[in-house]
Amino acid sequence: MPIDAAKALAADPRLGDIGWDHKDVQLYHLGLGAGRPATDPDELRYTLESKLHVLPSFATVAGAGMAMLGGLAAPGIDVNLAAVLHGGHSIELHRPIPVKGRATSRSKVAAVYDKGKAAVIVLRSEVADADGPLWTSDAQIFVRGEGGFGGERGPSAKEKLPGRAPDRTEERHIREDQALLYRLSGDWNPLHADPEFAKTAGFDQPILHGLCSYGMTLKAVVDTALGGDVSRVRAYRTRFAGIVYPGETLRIRMWQEPGRVQVSVTAAERDDAPVLADTVVEHA
């Protein structure tokens, strides 16, 4: 059944209540590889409740939120989940995320683009608590075989890398069990845990969650380029360009510019195969 873009865009937003506390935040941080070395004061900001701050990419899992999948059930959207890929993600922070909170999530289809052989659906979640807006999160969902319905092609998010050497290059090793730990924050897709399922999907072994690479990258940028201050992050966006396996190493190259850090993320052991592209952290 073709996507009915007009119907999807006109649909009423879905409202939901979400909540989290320090345990959810700590589990998320551990799933990104935080806590190495365990007694490092800089790492204790991610693991010890008395010193805890919240990495802004926690917005992607707050309330065990997989609102992305719920959005694919919106009126006018009738797609085969086997044809769905998470193509990119962006978050805008309106203020720092508290360690403990209750909030309301307002989710809707914000845009539908026609890429010819595929469609891109932008699922937007706006989250606010009693004190006002907290964050806005956009998931760009790529649906193979659902283009050609005559819609707008949409903007290009390409970011040309600077023609100079990066200002920083960091490497972050992915533990063998990291996907198993990260999935406890809410993404239970067996692709990231079950070897047999991964083989049916065309992979030699389970792959790491794209949003785990996304969080690991933001942590590396915060810890190095932003002096460990999570409150400086204003927005963060990326395009998922390839896969990475548990046991491999993310190579994270950073170019610092006024008000932003441009980032390239590759798999070090596989000749710098792309993992994240068009990646930018905007900051104060």
Query: How far apart are the C-alpha atoms of 138 and 131, rounded to whole Å?
Result: 22
Query: How far apart are the C-alpha atoms of 126 and 136, rounded to whole Å?
Result: 4
Query: How far apart are the C-alpha atoms of 20 and 59, rounded to whole Å?
Result: 11
**Count of other CB atoms within 10 angstroms of residue 284:** 9
Query: How far apart are the C-alpha atoms of 262 and 156, rounded to whole Å?
Result: 17
Query: How far apart are the C-alpha atoms of 91 and 126, rounded to whole Å?
Result: 10
Cα within 13 Å of Cα(264), Cβ side: 19
Phi, psi of 270 (to 5 degrees): -115, 50
- Catalytic residue selected from 29, 89, 192, 209: 192
Tell me if 77 sits within 8 A of 109, measured CB to CB.
yes
Single out the residue of 38, 56, 35, 37 nearest to residue 46, CA to CA.
35
The answer to whether 187 is a known catalytic residue is: yes
- Catalytic residue selected from 187, 209, 223, 278: 187
How is residue 39 annotated by DSSP? T
Length of the chain as a residue count = 284
The catalytic residue positions are 187, 192
